[in-house]
Amino acid sequence: MKKVAFFICYIFSTLFAQLPSKYHSNDEVTSALKQFAKQYSSLISIESISRTVKGNDLWVVTIGKKEPQNHKAILVVGGIEAASLAGTEHALRYIQHLASSYGKVDSITRLLDNTTVYVVPRANPDASESYFTVPLTERESDYSPMDDDRDALVDEDDVDDVNKDGIISWMRIEDPRGEWVINPDDARLMKKADPGKGEKGKYRLLSEGFDNDKDEEWNEDPAGGTDFNRNFTYNYQFFGKNSGVHQISEDATRALANFVFDRPNIAMLFTFSSNDNLTTAWKNEPPKGESSVISSVLKDDEDYYSFISKKFGEITKLKDAPKPVKGEGAFSEWGYYHSGRWSFAVRPWWPGEIPKVKDTAAIKDTTIKTGEGKKEEKDKTEDPQMKTLKWYDAIGASDVAVSWKVFSHPDFPGQTVEIGGIKPFRLTNPPAESLNAVAVPYVNFLTVLPSLLPSLSVENHKVEKIGENVFRVSVDVVNNGYLPTNSGIAQKTRWIRNVRVTLNAGNKNVVTSGKAKQVLNPIKGSGGFKTVSWIIVGHGSVTVSADSPIAGMSELKIDLQ
């Protein structure tokens, strides 16, 4: 076995100077992509594969030299969880890094000479755009009309900016029948009363809005829609919340899925999402019951996931990730289990180590003091929201929450209503000014990941003369890449074919043993090989070629002598 060498050229955030350290709206994403396509026209092309309900383009960027469909490929997807915006930003920086390094950095030139990189920077542009519109609303779903509450009215009770502060936050209504209390550890947060600890609810908690249709429900039928990361076939929840009317029901999700199925050269997906399998690698688990559903990574593939997860840690040095979310109709899991690709996912950001605490009192709501003393010991077990807030406090960010303020709400006459709480997007997105720095480890990893794909070579040919004009010809079909020529899941799903070996013996020669065309079972990487042989009656030369959409093509001319 040959040892695989990794050529890594680490980069620094200063390389992204071309992209401002800010979140890009749809228009800004579009013009950045158009700019890339113009500036690097021999390397980059862009294509819209779908139009969303709101008329936005679903962009795919293709990075590669000539005939990109004929090269093995990776697809990188950002924004499938629409309220998580940093993935889109990383994707833009990744494109820029590859384009500006091509021809300058050897490893990247080599990569792009035989590998295609497809990037969907923003998978759900309609929903992500809510970050750039007023009022600021966190959305995961698109705008396909949906009657959430089955009253034959569609999208009639969305959230509303009740207090006209430009932000959709939260309403807490003092109500002894409510289930919520103010979080004793952080007054900006609410928590459910725990009857086991003798706690009794004091508030109802609702998202900010009016009861627009007067049905005594608030915001129960918001605009749209379908959450794209709940709309794919694997572990799909029929009749689930925002999961769509059925699997892959939306034009955009359909376009994404078809983009992958139409390109058997796509060997690998990388998704920015919480369905993380990079900080914690997938493990094979024994099947449950009689079910024939594959519900954990196959034994054949498990070690590769472990290795790549380890690589991710080494390259990015990212630690303390929140627990991976098990998807329900998630894109990245579909990528492995149903489209049969290697599929990796990781959150584009989470608060890392908390900086040394400075003076955070100033940005704290000081109305509640209880629990202050217990803080230190709770740090390790506290929930991710608390941790994120603490991180923000430590960096001195002051715009994380809206202070709770009493508001005279017409739907609740005679009751005390306060509006406030965590601002939309803050918990899952880093401060804009840190984007260039946050992108660096991800971009580094993404320049290595596609270099792990299999790579075919026809080598080591032997010609034995076993009679007058009779030759036994054999070759080794070798995989010099890291990954095998097909994964276990690809063998099951059968969307990516195996390596095909073709013998062109010419018109006059006769092949008496062996097939002119044959398909080989997966060949392991790092120098794994399979020997193929024929008996040929004739003279002159023959040509042997081996090809696979995900492992490239190799050809050898062999003289019969």
Partner 1 sequence: MKKFLLSLMFSSILFAQQSKEFTPSALKAMGAPNNPKVEVAWNRYYDTKQLYEIMKRIEKAYPQLVKVKSIGKSVEGKEMWQMTISNFKNGDPNKKPAMYIDGNIHSNEIQGAEVVLYTAWYVTELYDEVEWIKNLLDEKTLYVVPTINPDARDYFIYKANNPHSPRSGMAQRDDDGDGEFDEDGYDDLDGDGNVVFMRIKDPNGRWNVDPSDSRLMVQTNSGEKGNYTLLGWEGIDNDGDGSVNEDNPGFYDPNRDWAWNWAPRYIQSGSDRFPFTFPENRSIRNFFLQHTNIAAAQSFHNNGGMILRGPGSKTDEGSYSRQDVQTYNFLGELGEQQLPGYKYMIIWKDLYTVYGGEVEWFYGGRGILSFTNELWSEFDYFRRPMDSTRDVSSQDLYRFDRLLLFREGIVPWKKYQHPQYGEIEIGGIKKQWTRTAPSFMIEDMCHRNMAFTLFHLFHTPKVAVDSIIVKNLPGGLKEVTAIISNERVIPTHTFQDVKHQITRPDWVSLSGGKVIAGGILENRFLGNMKEQKVTPGRLNVENIPGLGTVAVRWIVEGGSSYTVKIDSEKGGTAERKSK
**Residue 118 region by backbone torsions, left for phi larger than 0, else alpha for psi between -120 and 50, else beta:** beta
Other Cβ atoms within 10 Å of 153 Cβ, number: 14
**Residue whose CB is less far from partner 1, 132 or 495:** 495
Pick one of 45, 114, 233, 316: the residue that binds partner 1 (CB under 8 A).
Answer: 233
Residue with tokens 């005390």: 416
Nearer to partner 1, 428 or 498 (CB): 498
Q: Are 39 and 95 in contact (CB under 8 A)?
A: no
9 binds partner 1 (CB under 8 A): no
Q: Which stretch binds partner 1 (CB under 8 A): 212-220, 343-351, 364-372, 404-412?
A: 212-220
Rg for the chain, CA atoms, rounded: 28
- Interacting stretch for partner 1, rule CB under 8 A, among 313-321, 402-410, 463-471, 509-517? 509-517
Query: From the CB of 550, what's the least distance to partner 1, in Å?
Result: 12
Q: Which stretch binds partner 1 (CB under 8 A): 173-181, 242-250, 369-377, 403-411?
A: 242-250
Helices assigned H by DSSP within 408-521:
435-448, 488-493
User: What contacts 97, CB < 8 A, 6 or more positions away?
Assistant: 11, 15, 16, 108, 443, 447
Cα(520)–Cα(512) distance, rounded to whole angstroms? 20
Phi-psi region of 79 (alpha: psi -120 to 50; beta: other; left: phi over 0): left
Q: Which is nearer to partner 1, 171 or 499 (CB)?
A: 499
239 contacts partner 1 (rule: CB under 8 A): yes
Task: Give me the sheet containing 342-346, strands edge to edge.
Answer: 44-51, 57-63, 115-120, 72-77, 266-272, 342-346
Q: Does 241 bind partner 1 (CB under 8 A)?
A: no
Among 14, 291, 366, 561, binds partner 1 (CB under 8 A): 291
Candidate residues 214, 288, 299, 508; the one interacting with partner 1 per rule CB under 8 A: 214
CA-CA-CA-CA torsion for 292, 294, 299, 304, nearest 10 degrees?
160
Q: Which residue has the tokens 């092309």?
A: 45
In the bound complex, what is the minimum distance in angstroms from residue 515's beta carbon to partner 1?
5
Q: Minimum Å distance from CB 336 to partner 1?
A: 11
- Select 274 or 498, whichever has its Cβ closest to partner 1: 498
Q: Which is nearer to partner 1, 182 or 546 (CB)?
A: 546
Binding region for partner 1 (CB under 8 A) out of 112-120, 148-156, 166-174, 388-396: 148-156
Enumerate binding residues for partner 1 (CB under 8 A).
Answer: 147, 150-152, 214-216, 232-233, 238-239, 245-248, 254, 257-258, 261, 291-294, 337-338, 492-494, 497-498, 500, 515-519, 547, 549
